[in-house]
Amino acid sequence: MDPTSRAVLTELALAHFQSAALGKAEATARELVELDPSDAFALTLLGRALARQSKHAEAVPHLRLAAAMTGSAEANSALAECEARLT
């Protein structure tokens, strides 16, 4: 199994996020975004990992891009929550 495979990295980032290993989730999601900046799921995951670490200002651009790309309720909800915490 290729450790740089996007599918493997996506599963790893998600597992880290779900187990609250947020620093690892952030690092893995950043790697995914570097591999494919158009990966809306990776952008959402990165934004959510940042937000759960109270890095709301960092999370907003990633979530804004993901929301624009997909229009997903998850990305829009996470974006609205982060923006509310910045004001």
Cα(39)–Cα(60) distance, rounded to whole angstroms?
A: 16
Cα(59)–Cα(4) distance, rounded to whole angstroms?
A: 24
pTM: 0.92
Tell me what pLDDT residue 46 has.
97
Q: pLDDT, tens digit, for every residue of 20-69? A: 999 999 999 999 999 999 999 999 999 999 999 999 999 999 999 999 99
Tell me what pLDDT residue 3 has.
62
Tell me what pLDDT residue 76 has.
94
Max Cα–Cα distance, the chain, nearest Å: 45
Assigned CATH for 6-86:
1.25.40.10
The residue ranges of every structural domain in the chain are 6-86
